Amino acid sequence: MTPLPFPLTEVTEAEAETGRRLFAGETDFLKGVVAMSGLPPDDRIEVCFAGRSNVGKSTLINALTGRKGLARASNTPGRTQEINFFTLAESHYLVDLPGYGYANAPVAVVEKWQRLLKQYLSGRANLRRAFVLIDARHGVKAVDEEILGLLDSAAVTFQCVLTKADKVKAAERERILDQVRGKLSKHPAAFPEIIQTSSEKGDGIATLRAVIANIA
Protein backbone atom coordinates (compact mmCIF):
# COMPACT_ATOMS: atom_id res chain seq x y z
CA MET A 1 0.00 0.00 0.00
CA THR A 2 1.33 3.44 -0.94
CA PRO A 3 2.04 5.49 2.20
CA LEU A 4 0.16 8.75 2.62
CA PRO A 5 2.08 11.92 1.87
CA PHE A 6 2.66 13.87 5.08
CA PRO A 7 1.71 11.09 7.52
CA LEU A 8 1.11 11.82 11.20
CA THR A 9 4.36 11.70 13.16
CA GLU A 10 5.02 8.63 15.26
CA VAL A 11 7.83 8.48 17.82
CA THR A 12 9.53 5.61 19.61
CA GLU A 13 9.46 5.15 23.37
CA ALA A 14 13.13 6.17 23.50
CA GLU A 15 12.43 9.37 21.56
CA ALA A 16 9.46 10.16 23.81
CA GLU A 17 11.64 9.69 26.88
CA THR A 18 14.25 12.06 25.45
CA GLY A 19 11.50 14.62 24.97
CA ARG A 20 10.15 14.10 28.48
CA ARG A 21 13.60 14.63 29.99
CA LEU A 22 14.27 17.78 27.98
CA PHE A 23 10.97 19.40 28.94
CA ALA A 24 11.38 18.33 32.56
CA GLY A 25 14.17 20.92 32.66
CA GLU A 26 13.59 24.52 33.62
CA THR A 27 11.90 26.83 31.12
CA ASP A 28 12.00 30.60 31.51
CA PHE A 29 11.05 33.70 29.57
CA LEU A 30 14.27 35.33 28.35
CA LYS A 31 13.26 38.45 26.42
CA GLY A 32 10.97 40.00 23.85
CA VAL A 33 12.72 41.26 20.73
CA VAL A 34 11.54 44.07 18.44
CA ALA A 35 14.72 44.45 16.34
CA MET A 36 17.46 42.15 15.07
CA SER A 37 19.96 43.90 17.33
CA GLY A 38 18.10 42.51 20.35
CA LEU A 39 18.41 38.83 19.43
CA PRO A 40 20.17 36.66 22.00
CA PRO A 41 23.40 34.86 21.01
CA ASP A 42 22.80 32.02 18.54
CA ASP A 43 24.48 29.49 20.81
CA ARG A 44 21.60 27.02 21.29
CA ILE A 45 19.35 24.84 19.19
CA GLU A 46 16.38 27.01 18.29
CA VAL A 47 12.84 26.20 17.18
CA CYS A 48 10.09 28.72 16.55
CA PHE A 49 6.31 28.63 16.58
CA ALA A 50 4.20 30.52 14.07
CA GLY A 51 0.46 30.66 13.63
CA ARG A 52 -2.41 32.97 12.94
CA SER A 53 -4.05 34.71 15.84
CA ASN A 54 -6.29 32.50 18.00
CA VAL A 55 -4.81 29.25 16.66
CA GLY A 56 -3.78 28.26 20.20
CA LYS A 57 -0.06 29.00 20.01
CA SER A 58 0.41 30.31 23.55
CA THR A 59 -1.70 27.46 24.94
CA LEU A 60 0.42 24.90 23.08
CA ILE A 61 3.70 26.37 24.33
CA ASN A 62 2.33 26.33 27.87
CA ALA A 63 1.23 22.71 27.47
CA LEU A 64 4.64 21.70 26.13
CA THR A 65 6.49 23.31 29.01
CA GLY A 66 3.94 22.42 31.69
CA ARG A 67 3.69 26.07 32.73
CA LYS A 68 0.27 27.64 32.28
CA GLY A 69 1.30 31.28 32.32
CA LEU A 70 4.62 31.08 30.47
CA ALA A 71 3.40 32.28 27.07
CA ARG A 72 0.63 34.83 27.22
CA ALA A 73 -1.80 35.71 24.48
CA SER A 74 -2.61 39.36 23.97
CA ASN A 75 -6.27 40.30 24.46
CA THR A 76 -5.92 42.96 21.77
CA PRO A 77 -5.57 41.74 18.17
CA GLY A 78 -2.32 42.82 16.55
CA ARG A 79 -0.83 44.31 19.73
CA THR A 80 1.88 41.75 20.45
CA GLN A 81 4.54 42.35 17.82
CA GLU A 82 7.56 40.99 19.67
CA ILE A 83 9.52 37.82 19.02
CA ASN A 84 9.54 36.17 22.43
CA PHE A 85 12.43 33.93 23.47
CA PHE A 86 12.23 31.24 26.13
CA THR A 87 15.14 29.18 27.42
CA LEU A 88 14.55 25.43 27.62
CA ALA A 89 16.97 23.58 29.93
CA GLU A 90 20.48 24.70 28.96
CA SER A 91 20.34 23.63 25.36
CA HIS A 92 17.36 25.11 23.51
CA TYR A 93 15.49 28.30 22.71
CA LEU A 94 11.75 28.16 22.14
CA VAL A 95 10.70 31.17 20.08
CA ASP A 96 7.14 32.49 19.99
CA LEU A 97 6.47 34.55 16.86
CA PRO A 98 3.64 37.10 16.89
CA GLY A 99 0.28 35.84 15.67
CA TYR A 100 -0.65 36.90 12.16
CA GLY A 101 -3.91 37.35 10.31
CA TYR A 102 -5.71 40.18 12.05
CA ALA A 103 -6.95 42.54 9.36
CA ASN A 104 -7.53 45.36 11.87
CA ALA A 105 -3.88 45.58 12.97
CA PRO A 106 -2.42 48.91 11.81
CA VAL A 107 -0.73 48.63 8.39
CA ALA A 108 2.51 50.16 9.67
CA VAL A 109 2.64 47.65 12.54
CA VAL A 110 2.05 44.73 10.19
CA GLU A 111 4.74 45.93 7.77
CA LYS A 112 7.25 46.38 10.60
CA TRP A 113 6.49 42.90 11.93
CA GLN A 114 6.82 41.36 8.47
CA ARG A 115 10.23 42.97 7.97
CA LEU A 116 11.45 41.73 11.34
CA LEU A 117 10.08 38.24 10.69
CA LYS A 118 11.80 38.01 7.29
CA GLN A 119 15.09 39.17 8.80
CA TYR A 120 14.79 36.69 11.66
CA LEU A 121 13.93 33.71 9.48
CA SER A 122 16.67 34.36 6.93
CA GLY A 123 19.37 35.38 9.38
CA ARG A 124 19.19 32.96 12.30
CA ALA A 125 21.84 30.28 11.76
CA ASN A 126 20.81 28.09 14.70
CA LEU A 127 17.10 27.97 13.78
CA ARG A 128 16.51 24.27 13.17
CA ARG A 129 12.78 24.16 12.48
CA ALA A 130 9.66 26.28 12.43
CA PHE A 131 6.43 24.76 13.69
CA VAL A 132 3.47 26.27 11.85
CA LEU A 133 0.24 25.85 13.80
CA ILE A 134 -2.93 25.19 11.81
CA ASP A 135 -6.39 25.01 13.40
CA ALA A 136 -7.68 21.45 12.84
CA ARG A 137 -11.20 22.81 12.46
CA HIS A 138 -10.32 24.96 9.44
CA GLY A 139 -7.18 23.63 7.73
CA VAL A 140 -4.77 25.86 5.82
CA LYS A 141 -6.29 29.27 5.14
CA ALA A 142 -5.16 31.94 2.69
CA VAL A 143 -3.57 33.89 5.54
CA ASP A 144 -1.39 30.86 6.35
CA GLU A 145 -0.06 30.64 2.81
CA GLU A 146 1.95 33.84 3.24
CA ILE A 147 3.96 32.45 6.16
CA LEU A 148 4.46 29.12 4.35
CA GLY A 149 5.79 30.96 1.31
CA LEU A 150 8.03 33.08 3.51
CA LEU A 151 9.52 29.94 5.08
CA ASP A 152 10.09 28.50 1.59
CA SER A 153 11.96 31.61 0.48
CA ALA A 154 14.02 31.66 3.68
CA ALA A 155 14.81 27.93 3.23
CA VAL A 156 13.67 27.22 6.79
CA THR A 157 12.27 23.72 7.28
CA PHE A 158 8.79 23.94 8.75
CA GLN A 159 6.50 21.29 10.20
CA CYS A 160 2.74 21.60 10.38
CA VAL A 161 1.16 21.18 13.83
CA LEU A 162 -2.61 20.80 13.85
CA THR A 163 -4.12 22.32 16.99
CA LYS A 164 -7.51 21.78 18.67
CA ALA A 165 -7.83 18.29 17.15
CA ASP A 166 -10.25 17.33 19.92
CA LYS A 167 -12.76 19.85 18.56
CA VAL A 168 -13.17 17.94 15.28
CA LYS A 169 -15.07 14.70 14.63
CA ALA A 170 -13.07 11.84 13.13
CA ALA A 171 -14.62 12.00 9.63
CA GLU A 172 -14.15 15.76 9.40
CA ARG A 173 -10.58 15.41 10.68
CA GLU A 174 -9.69 13.19 7.71
CA ARG A 175 -11.10 15.75 5.28
CA ILE A 176 -9.05 18.51 6.91
CA LEU A 177 -5.93 16.33 6.87
CA ASP A 178 -6.40 15.77 3.14
CA GLN A 179 -6.71 19.52 2.58
CA VAL A 180 -3.60 20.25 4.64
CA ARG A 181 -1.60 17.56 2.85
CA GLY A 182 -2.57 19.03 -0.50
CA LYS A 183 -1.46 22.49 0.55
CA LEU A 184 1.84 21.32 2.07
CA SER A 185 2.75 19.37 -1.07
CA LYS A 186 3.27 22.70 -2.85
CA HIS A 187 5.90 23.92 -0.37
CA PRO A 188 9.49 22.69 -0.74
CA ALA A 189 10.42 23.66 2.84
CA ALA A 190 7.65 21.54 4.38
CA PHE A 191 8.83 18.70 6.63
CA PRO A 192 7.07 15.53 5.39
CA GLU A 193 5.16 14.71 8.58
CA ILE A 194 2.27 16.34 10.47
CA ILE A 195 1.79 16.49 14.24
CA GLN A 196 -1.78 16.49 15.56
CA THR A 197 -2.36 18.02 18.98
CA SER A 198 -4.91 18.97 21.59
CA SER A 199 -3.52 21.16 24.34
CA GLU A 200 -6.74 20.67 26.31
CA LYS A 201 -6.60 16.86 26.20
CA GLY A 202 -2.82 16.53 26.05
CA ASP A 203 -2.91 14.66 22.74
CA GLY A 204 0.28 14.94 20.69
CA ILE A 205 2.18 16.89 23.35
CA ALA A 206 4.61 14.04 24.05
CA THR A 207 5.13 13.61 20.30
CA LEU A 208 5.96 17.28 19.78
CA ARG A 209 8.31 17.25 22.77
CA ALA A 210 10.07 14.22 21.30
CA VAL A 211 10.40 15.84 17.86
CA ILE A 212 11.94 18.99 19.37
CA ALA A 213 14.31 17.00 21.61
CA ASN A 214 15.52 14.85 18.71
CA ILE A 215 16.25 17.69 16.28
CA ALA A 216 20.04 17.73 15.90
The CA radius of gyration of the chain, in Å to the nearest whole number, is 16
> What residue ranges define each of the domains in the chain, with the CATH number in brackets?
13-213 (3.40.50.300)
Q: What is the pLDDT at residue 1? A: 41
- By DSSP bridging, strand 127-135 and strand 45-51 are parallel
- Give the long-range contacts of residues 30-34, CB within 8 A, separation 24 or more: 30/85, 30/86, 30/87, 30/93, 31/84, 31/85, 32/82, 32/83, 32/84, 32/85, 33/82, 33/83, 33/84, 33/85, 34/81, 34/82, 34/83, 34/116
| Global pTM exceeds 0.85 | yes
Q: Is 45 left (phi over 0), alpha (psi -120 to 50) or beta?
A: beta
Q: Spell out the per-residue pLDDT of the chain, length 216, in tens.
A: 445 689 999 999 999 999 999 999 999 999 999 899 999 999 999 999 999 888 999 999 999 999 988 987 655 544 457 899 999 999 999 999 988 776 566 777 778 888 888 899 988 999 999 999 999 999 999 989 989 999 999 999 999 999 999 999 988 999 999 999 999 999 999 999 999 999 999 999 999 999 999 997
Q: What is the pLDDT at residue 80? A: 58
Q: What is the pLDDT at residue 2? A: 46
Q: What is the pLDDT at residue 6? A: 94
Q: What is the pLDDT at residue 180? A: 97
Q: What is the pLDDT at residue 139? A: 97
